[in-house]
Amino acid sequence: MGVALGMIYKPLGKSGCLVPALGQGCMGIGGFFSQDISDDDRYIGALQRGYALGMTFVDTAEVYGDGHSEEVIGKSVKGIRDSIFIASKFSPENSSSRGVIDAAERSLQRLRTDYIDLYQIHWPNPLIPLEETLGAMVKLVQEGKVRFIGVSNFSLKELKEAHALLGDKLVSIQNEYNLFDRSIESTVLPFCVENDMTMIAYSPLDQGNLSSPSKKACLEEIAQHHDGTVAQVVLNWLVAKRNVVAIPKSSNIHHVEENAKALAFRLSDAEIRLIDDAFSGNQKRIPVKEIRVVQDGQGNRKAYCTLSEAIENKLGFVPSPADLAEDIASGEPIKPVRVRKTTSTEGGYAYDLLEGRIRYWAWVIANGETSAIPVLIRE
């Protein structure tokens, strides 16, 4: 992998390999949860512009665009494969030994490559022993089909378990980390720092929300001072954290250029502290009965609207709300769900649930309908 002027490189765990501190997320490149084959040329152009500017680390998953994201990446790296670091993930339903191997073969074909640089467990699957899943991943490494192993969306307990099984062979964890959701700072991030693992921050720009309207002024002022943009300040703030690299997604070539050039300036310690303070204390607890579960799921994904539906798990989610409830009942902290103050007067609810419906129902199963759940409140 070549180096680019203005990019920062960080160690990938204890692998001896360096990766750019800013990569390119590919959820939405080639579609979100179904295939979008209408705009491949634009996606490929945006990715290749990012590569040219040093964002040579791409992150995808078998589920993105129902496989098409991997196909687009495969086309984008034609002729330059060895200079690009490709990270992909398999879905929880493929966590058995056979499932992992078959999923990797399908990803390799779609990516038109004979190795994946970083292969990650997308979400934990409590129904399959972690030892079995990781064992299959180690086999892929031994066969040269995968270079490094990572996990994603693991709680601290799950990360510790994976680390106990793999040691330094586990190089990274990919969890959500941005100015709105800083929950990993008190859970998995300190563990990564102590054990020299890389933290790959997903949704670093909070899916384009960048900042809440009431707090944006602080970021704008800092951006102006550096002749930069708010997105660049946010990416800088993340990369300034030890062991953290970030994977912003963009299919807009101007945004790609803006993101790639984010590290052309550096935030001072005082600016980092200012941002730390301005964006602290977002997480609250709200009684579950104050939260309305709305019909339409994020990204048009189906979801449950009642407790009995969630317990029945007719849609076959893996893990199911009941599976997740077992972990929650053991006291494991959960990733906070997203809510917004409701504008509706119906039903006496105070908030609408925006994101995290499986977690919401898992919490209700574990703690009952009179409990209070950790939330992040969108303005």
Ligand X SMILES: NC(=O)c1ccc[n+]([C@@H]2O[C@H](COP(=O)([O-])OP(=O)(O)OC[C@H]3O[C@@H](n4cnc5c(N)ncnc54)[C@H](OP(=O)(O)O)[C@@H]3O)[C@@H](O)[C@H]2O)c1
Q: List residues near ligand X by CB under 6 A.
A: 25-28, 59, 122, 152-153, 174, 202-208, 231, 247-252, 255, 258-259
Would you say 260 and 248 are in contact if contact means Cβ atoms under 8 Å apart? Answer: no
User: Is 79 or 213 the residue whose CB approaches ligand X more closely?
Assistant: 213
User: Is 46 or 375 the residue whose CB approaches ligand X more closely?
Assistant: 46
Q: Whole-number minimum distance, CB 345 to ligand X, in Å?
A: 32
User: Is 146 or 231 the residue whose CB approaches ligand X more closely?
Assistant: 231
Q: Give the relative orientation of helices 130-142 and 97-111 as an angle to the nearest 10 degrees.
A: 40
Rg (CA), the chain: 20
Q: Whole-number minimum distance, CB 342 to ligand X, in Å?
A: 24
Q: Whole-number minimum distance, CB 92 to ligand X, in Å?
A: 11
- The torsion angles phi and psi of 127, rounded to 5 degrees, stand at -85, -15
Q: Tell me the C-alpha distance between 83 and 51, whole Å.
A: 9
User: Is 23 or 321 the residue whose CB approaches ligand X more closely?
Assistant: 23
Q: Whole-number minimum distance, CB 218 to ligand X, in Å?
A: 17
Neighbour-count burial of 370, counting CB atoms closer than 10 A to its CB (0-12 exposed, 13-18 middle, 19+ buried)? exposed
User: Is 173 or 288 the residue whose CB approaches ligand X more closely?
Assistant: 173
Q: Whole-number minimum distance, CB 142 to ligand X, in Å?
A: 25
Q: Whole-number minimum distance, CB 287 to ligand X, in Å?
A: 28
Q: Whole-number minimum distance, CB 296 to ligand X, in Å?
A: 18
User: Is 227 or 346 the residue whose CB approaches ligand X more closely?
Assistant: 227
User: Is 28 or 349 the residue whose CB approaches ligand X more closely?
Assistant: 28
Closest residue by beta carbon to ligand X: 25
3-state secondary structure the chain: CCCCCCCCEEECCCCCCEEECECEECCECCECCCCCCCCHHHHHHHHHHHHHCCCCEEECCCCHHHHHHHHHHHHHCCCCHHHCEEEEEECHHHCCHHHHHHHHHHHHHHHCCCCEEEEEECCCCCCCCHHHHHHHHHHHHHCCCEEEEEEECCCHHHHHHHHHHHHHHEEEEEEECCCCCCHHHHCHHHHHHHCCCEEEEECCCHHHCCCCHHHHHHHHHHHHHCCCCHHHHHHHHHHCCCCEEECCECCCHHHHHHHHCHHHCCCCHHHHHHHHHHCCCCEEEEEHHHEEECCCCHHHCCCCCCHHHHHHCCCCCCCCHHHHHHHHHCCCCCCCEEEEECCCCHHHCCEEEEECHHHHHHHHHHHCCCCEEEEEEEC
Residues assigned a catalytic role: 64
